[in-house]
Amino acid sequence: MYKKTCDIRKRILSMATTAPSYDVDFYSDDFIRDPHPHYEKMRALGPVVYLPRHDNYALPRYAEVAAALRNHEQFCSGNGVAADEFGCEYLQGNTVASDPPRHTALRGAMAPPLFPGALEKIRPRVIKVATDLIDDLIKRDVFDTPTDLSRHLPFTIVRDMVGLPDHGQDQMQKWAAAAFDVLGCQNERGKAAVKIIEESRRFIEGNVNRDSVRPGSWTSRILDLVDAGDLDPALAPFAMRDYINPSLDSTISATSGLIWQLSQHPEEWQRLRDNPVLVRNAVNEAVRLTSPARSFTRQSTSDVEIAGVIIPAGSRIQMMWGSANRDERAFDNPDKFDITRDPKAHLGFGSGIHMCVGMHLAQLEMMTLIEAMIPRIARIECDTPEVALNNTIYSYSSLKTRFVAEKESRPDIVVETPEQRNELRQMRVSARAQAATDILEFTLEPTDGQPLPVAEPGAHIDLFIRDGLVRQYSLTGEMSEGTYRIAVQLEPESRGGSRAIFDTAQVGREIMVGGPRNGFPLATHSGPVHLFSGGIGLTPIYSMALAMHHAGHDFVWHLSARNRSRAAFLDEIMALPFADKICLRFDDETSDQPDLAGVIAQLKPSDNIYLCGPLGYMDFVVSMAKQAGLKDEHIHLEHFGAEIDSTGDPFEVYLAKSDKTLHVAPTDTILDALNNVGIPVSTACQNGVCGSCLTTVLEGQPDHRDLVQTDAEKAKNDRITVCCSRSKTKLLILDL
């Protein structure tokens, strides 16, 4: 049997097309300084090229690189990703050089602080640092972009977030650059880098401990996971080193490339100033053209056939991002900097399970810098850049730059930053009390003593409970500039939000708060208003009742709950001066309670109702109100997502861009399945009420469970909330 298998393999290999050879040293100084002519020649040779100097195959075209990156089973990272065996063995085991289950454990430990929701906590500081930096650089005649601009945010923000002791912080970029040299080949740069990496390993092993790292830092979090038994202690040093390596050089490289491109394309800079919403496109276009990581290798786990070429099992295969991202087969006019391109099309952040874990942080830093530049800088001028010599990272060692400031104030240029859209504040729990059975009330005060943003009745705030976990809670009671008041109900099947708050939000605890934002505003009405609340839904309604009382407006509040013990603030509410306008209804008290259906039936079509509560309660009130003749514009709703049932029959999800099929188990969500393979999706509420995770559906019929899309939007079946919705078909194809 063995002989027969070998004979078949020999026959296949004999019939295969030989890969064209390109005899060049991929890691030579000349290649690094000017790689693009080489890339063009390799792409012209075919989809597979052999590099005899390194005994590596190479994939220089976009389609083949994208497919290989999404097939980690056949194109393995676990045996290393360098171009030679020494580099593969020496750095084997970190996230880029590992496969599941090790990769899953490492990425699961590292990723939460780098999710978009978690990064909101540091956004205010990033904005301030970026603004101060640009103001300083404008005053200079000439500055060096890699040193003075590109390094500043990573070293100011990331260095502190990693949280190493002082000496380690000072050495981070040197250690990161050395790791990328070794991940190429062992030329003189690679050999010299080994000593530097040994220094970093000795430092982490000998100096990083609970007493030496900054509390609350990413490194401290890794130690917390080890202490809790959630991370193998043997993996902790790898996770710590992985925070250092990709978080600096790649971001610095891409930022310098962005400044260079904007200087060479003043028309694109003007387009960006005229339309700042394109800032994300500009950042991603720079990442495409710069491709900070030129290439990593994969090892074939079996014979691989690509366009008639058989790559034998065990071969080293270069994933040439730098070439693929300029493939004329994938991009029109690929060498042109065009900020109107699809920002997701490039491979600069990788693809598949090894997609860059820090991509959201890199985009945040780069976007914030550009947003600070747009109102202030009329023109960017750069001298010819000098290319840094590193085996893996394409970057500039020097780029002399001048910012030509706007001569006069430009009030027409307004960059609405994420901070302005959703202001973040560090706040402290100043009071905690029992509001009802399984309901706690919390009072939050700002830590800086400054007045809070004005909140209107119906507004809610975002609580950044921990990395990757954000929940929305309505403000309740009197609106105040000094404090925020919320009520939180413990959900029996809590997926982390209410349980985490109950367990950790003690008096004195500091927490990041976003908002306030208002998707449930109280409008001005000429006629009577009926307020309906069910259970914990009374929180925004309470504020509305107070506001209407102060305004002298005619209203009635219909307050429903299972029983008196589950009605939050009941004694406080019934002591209000308008208690006679409050109609109480409790499920266990049937006598002397006006029939809710009968009350709603008496409403006039011109009346307005405001409604918040459990899903069944709200459906009943809305149905009865429409029977009474009320149109949609007179029915104002605030959904709570806690009751959404996200369970159901299992199904498959195919990710079109990732070329990956995921299984969604009966008790899992699509979001769970995506997180399991490290594919990031923006999410906040995880209850189907915020819409941040809406994802394009290419094929299949969603089983919509969300409360954010309208009936008309759901009928189109072209978007799905992956946090809670499921599929009515066995296969759902998503644009991910």
pLDDT 10s digits, 635-693: 998 766 545 677 888 899 999 888 889 999 888 899 889 988 878 776 656 667 666 68
pLDDT of residue 91 exceeding 90, the answer is: no
d(CA 711, CA 225): 43
| Alpha helices (runs of H) in 644-728, residue ranges in sequence order | 670-676, 711-716
Note the pLDDT of residue 2.
Answer: 36
Highest mean pLDDT among 63-67, 379-383, 592-596, 722-726 belongs to: 379-383
Flag whether pLDDT at 419 surpasses 50: no
Of all residues in the chain, what percent carry a pLDDT higher than 70?
89
Q: What are phi and psi of 102, to 5 degrees?
A: -60, -45
302, 274 contact by CB (below 8 A): no
Q: What does the pLDDT read at residue 633? A: 86
Highest-scoring range by mean pLDDT, 65-69, 217-221, 432-436: 432-436
Whether residue 161 is predicted with pLDDT greater than 70 in this model: the reply is: yes
- What pTM did the predictor assign? 0.67
Query: Is residue 123 within a helix (H) or strand (E), and if so which, with residue range?
Result: helix 123-139
C-alpha closest to that of 541 among 618, 440, 430, 442: 618
pLDDT digits (tens, 9 = 90+) for 290-308: 999 999 999 999 999 998 8
Res 243 pLDDT > 90: no
pLDDT tens, residue by residue, 486-507: 999 987 655 557 888 898 899 9
What is the per-residue pLDDT for 105? 86
Q: What is the pLDDT of residue 333?
A: 94
**pLDDT (tens digit per residue) in 566-624:** 999 999 999 999 999 999 999 888 767 778 899 999 999 999 999 999 888 998 999 99
Query: What percentage of the chain reaches a pLDDT higher than 90?
Result: 52
| Residue 421: pLDDT band with limits 50, 70, 90 | very low
Half-sphere exposure of 59 (CA within 13 A, CB side): 29
Whether the predicted pLDDT of 149 surpasses 80: yes
Higher pLDDT, 80 or 470: 80
Answer whether residue 13 shows pLDDT above 60. no
| 422 vs 459: CA distance, rounded Å | 12
